[in-house]
Chains A and B, each alone.
Chain A
């Protein structure tokens, strides 16, 4: 799910930056000097003033009641949502039946052959092995359910994304309208989407597919637009001089030229959709996600892992295959087509053979039970690490200390600050790093949280995010620097990062509770584990891209390796590091919210509560606050260069 799509920007001159930053801060101080006494005189309270909140409970409860009462009679539902839902059900069902009809042998053969055509023999073997592993874990049917859902969701996301992307790529006005929307959607935690979708569509597959589409379409749209805009001007002029129409130009030149971005978009869409597959199990998506969710309910980490591994395998396989399709050369005409035909023929033969042999279902005897050993390992770990470890103390003690000495002071500090000063801090941070627009968005987002009346829980969530980000960055930069300096370490690290990044977040939740107890500490721990891979990866990449000449000259001047890192590599990799911070913040927020399931409290709990009780008022307000918080955090950590460059 690496959202590392931002091109590496150029480095601002420190002197100029300093100058500009001082400028901005002075202006801000001036504005504050005028506004703060006014605000303070009018609404003198530490927390967000009650006079400025809007209570949405009544209208939202009425809305929710209206929807429930009219869901089976109102034309809007019968003629619009009903058809949407119907279409989803029918298409998922069609795909599912095809997958079942092909049987395990047919599906595995087809997947392997597609991978072979697109990405070569090694990936083909890997793909086939991955599918067989899903069966071996006893997860064949759930895997097919998830796959059917994914196929439909990804196709829909690609269509929606491509249409939006075309609009944004061809029209500057659409681009200006869509850009902020897409930017925002990309930073939203998936959990915040679920409730409104459930209310309209009810629990079940349609709601799950639609939530997934909303979550997975934005990257496709962004990258389509980027690809269309990035097309080589000279080629386009050449095509134009041949007298082609606008449509011909689009179909024969601009879209083929954007192939790489389109495939990258597909890749990211698939990754996002897969990560949603598990979260959507909360609203009845079924399949692998549901198995994970059910296993966790009985505190069975092993079984949860058995259902989580197929998700990871699917993700890794799809990532590599679509990635290879993006890098590879376009398929070679006729011989390519003939080979595709062979591949399909072979699939059919295998599927029919399996059917004739009566081996359509995965044989029960071939199931490997990994749950037990895994559970034993987890039990051992928690029994020996939880407390009473000599010298360092147990994990429970760490969690206690972390809560008392870090989380509590940060939370109380944030909640104790006067509300206007929080806004000022946000404005200052966002403006120094970004532009006045990002600062304004951030401040407005923060103010919206106050208006919604969830100021305190939001600051509680914010404190958890800050603590988790701090830990993630310290660990991530340390590991990233080590990996950038040692090829061997990086090779060892890569598969580990892959797995951690694609493992459904839910799987982490129970082990962290066993290690850290219930509360905010396990939520923070899960967030760190989830966000770490992205931070490590971006840091390593950034450091490795540092100009070798600069490194060489530093070395020839006799700089020690510590000096090299501090004075050459880190400053030169600054943009990448900022990007790492930005990504870290976004990912951490997503998991801190899910932390509501393990006692994280605050906004995450409200969302879980809203979903569990069907309480739109609580859930939607908390969801909106999360959206605002995500927006604010993204804007505060978003370097100016990123936006400037993207406009190209």
Chain B
């Protein structure tokens, strides 16, 4: 009975809403938003823990200080731009630089608005575990990497040394770098960051040598200390042609982006997200609580919020 009435009511509703006129998909929000009559903010979480830390703290403050409901959805970097442009999510809190998408959505279509720095500077590079770098100090220069290829070999790297890369969604030039720097290495994609971290911890437990694509800020450095391998220095524009890259990765000030409509009409939530800015140490603290101590993001955020009142009060004013 009840189901039938809902079905009838539902289909009537559908008819009235969809019966005529155009339906712009880009104006449709998530069906789970705004349930139970409260204002909802949709945040995209990327798969790495630093991004989870941003979202956890923002979510905690939105819910407990501003009275919003927050829904999060995990999306990879490039699709997140897409979702942001369509209004499926309202904010993207940590972007590592996607010039092509920025051109398309921020400059041309104006569906996405910049919301300033996150306050954290990101850097991608090649790393070896510190215990290995201490025994072999010269491994930290790329010119000597070929000497150690033998030691970095695994069953997956087929006779060459293994350079482990993470998720396919991350910014990487590693294949081109290996080729252009004439290194005797094979790039092996772990396929996801989770798999990469699991493998690195497993190697570290046995004190085995490994060479990996990694980035900072990252909580794993606290658990597995790693030293960066120097690549040829980064110069503006040296990574313009993806095929010919032969230089290190830049230092990127991470950016926040908001959906344009949300930025205009998002009220207190939008104002708060524009002001949200914290340091690398803060982010790492929360990340470590989540990923290493296995706290839920909410508990971790609460712990941080309770002890950093002056920092977050400024975002709300």
- A interface residues, Cβ below 8 angstroms from B: 68, 71-72, 75, 77-79, 81-83, 85-98, 100, 145, 148, 198, 201-206, 281, 283-284, 286, 290, 293-294, 296-300, 302-303, 341, 344, 347-348, 371-372, 375, 382-383, 386-387, 396, 399-400, 403-404, 408, 509-510, 513-514, 517-522, 595-601, 604-605, 608-609, 611-614
Contacts and interface: CB of A to CB of B under 8 A. Distances in A.
B48 A599 contact: no
Contacts of A400: 154-155
A302 B14 contact: no
A598 B13 CA distance: 44
Report, nearest first, the 4 A-B pairs whose CB atoms are least far apart: A612-B169, A82-B23, A93-B31, A78-B22
Contacts of A396: 202
B280 interface: no
Given A284-B74, A348-B2, A514-B198, 11 more contacts: A94-B6, A95-B6, A148-B31, A203-B79, A284-B73, A297-B47, A300-B294, A302-B294, A518-B195, A518-B199, A599-B190
Contact of B193 (A98, A203, A297): A297
B75 interface: yes
B73 to A, nearest CB: 5
Contact of B164 (A299, A375, A518, A522): A518
B202 A82 contact: no
B6 A83 contact: no
B269 interface: no
Nearest to B77: A612
B136 interface: no
A202 B24 CA distance: 12
Given A148-B31, A513-B198, A614 B82 contact: yes
B18 A87 contact: yes
B28 A297 contact: no
A275 to B, nearest CB: 19
B167 interface: yes
B23 A600 contact: no
9 contacts: A86-B18, A202-B25, A408-B155, A518-B156, A519-B188, A608-B191, A611-B76, A612-B78, A612-B169
B210 to A, nearest CB: 10
Contact of A77 (B25, B31, B45, B169): B25
Given A286-B30, A514-B202, A599-B156, A96 B189 contact: no
B265 interface: no
Given A90-B14, A281-B74, A612-B79, A100 B31 contact: no
Contacts of B22: 75, 78-79, 82
A203 B35 CA distance: 20
B10 A299 contact: no
Q: How large is the interface on B (under 10, 10 to 19, 20 to 34, 35 or more residues)?
A: 35 or more
A198 B79 contact: yes
B190 A92 contact: no
Interface string B13-51: 110011000111110111110011000000001011100
Contacts of B314: none
A134 B31 CA distance: 21
B102 interface: no
Contacts of A202: 25-26, 82-83, 86, 88
Given A203-B82, A294-B52, A519-B188, A85 B23 contact: yes
Nearest to B19: A83
B66 interface: no
A203 B199 CA distance: 30
A205 B29 CA distance: 9
The residue among A72, A198, A303, A604 with the most chain B CB atoms within 10 A of its own CB is: A72
Contacts, number: 233
Contacts of A372: 294
Contact of A509 (B9, B195, B196, B197): B195
B205 interface: yes
A98 to B, nearest CB: 6
B291 A520 contact: no
Given A290-B73, A294-B45, A298-B49, A403 B156 contact: yes
A599 B291 contact: no
B52 A297 contact: yes
Contact of A78 (B14, B23, B88, B294): B23
A376 to B, nearest CB: 10
B240 interface: no
A203 B190 contact: no
B47 A68 contact: no
A519 B169 CA distance: 18
Contact of B194 (A145, A371, A510, A600): A510
The residue among A97, A204, A408, A613 with the most chain B CB atoms within 10 A of its own CB is: A204
Contacts of B294: 300, 302-303, 371-372, 375
A444 B87 CA distance: 43
Nearest to A203: B83
B168 A605 contact: yes
B194 A297 contact: yes
B182 interface: no
B69 to A, nearest CB: 11
Contact of A86 (B28, B71, B197, B198): B28
Contacts of B191: 518, 595-601, 604-605, 608
B57 interface: no
Contact of A201 (B25, B47, B195): B25
Contacts of B30: 89, 204-205, 286
Contact of A298 (B10, B76, B291): B291
B76 A612 contact: yes
Given A71-B26, A598-B192, A613 B78 contact: yes
Contacts of A347: 2
Nearest to A198: B79
Contact of A82 (B2, B24, B31, B167): B24
Contacts of B78: 612-614
Nearest to B220: A299
B104 interface: yes
Nearest to A88: B31
Contacts of B2: 344, 347-348
A605 B189 contact: yes
Interface in B275-307: 290-291, 294, 296
Contacts of B65: none
Contacts of B71: 286
A303 B6 CA distance: 34
A363 to B, nearest CB: 16
B236 interface: no
Contact of A597 (B75, B195, B197, B206): B195
A77 B27 CA distance: 12
B36 to A, nearest CB: 6
A519 B155 contact: yes
A297 B74 CA distance: 10
B74 A87 contact: no
